Amino acid sequence: MYGDQFHPIMRMAEQAAKLHNLASNSEDRDDLKSSIDAWDKIAQYTEPKLKATEIDLMADLTVDHPNTIRLVAELPDE
């Protein structure tokens, strides 16, 4: 089981898929939560995490080609 071909993340994915199938056929919310938790754990190893980025909207920025968005309110036809 733990030979050269063993990959723990792939094994976790296989088990999560089995748990997902069981949860899909179950009415128990705990089964569904367990399935979601299993996929969440796998995602931590397979998907890059996004970092929060701070944007200062009040910063003095020089823009060569400013974009203008104009919002116009329209009344519905009566």
Domains of the chain, by residue range, sit at 8-46
Helix or strand holding residue 29 (H, E): helix 29-46
Angle between helix 29-46 and helix 8-24 axes, rounded to 10 deg: 150
Residue pLDDT, tens place only, 2-19? 788 888 889 899 999 999
Burial pattern 9-34, b for ≥16 Cβ within 10 A else e, equals eeebbeebeebbeebeeeeeeebbeb
Helices (H) and strands (E) in the chain, counts: 2, 0
Residue pLDDT, tens place only, 29-78? 888 899 999 999 999 988 888 888 877 776 666 655 566 767 777 777 76
d(Cα 67, Cα 72) in Å, to the nearest integer? 16
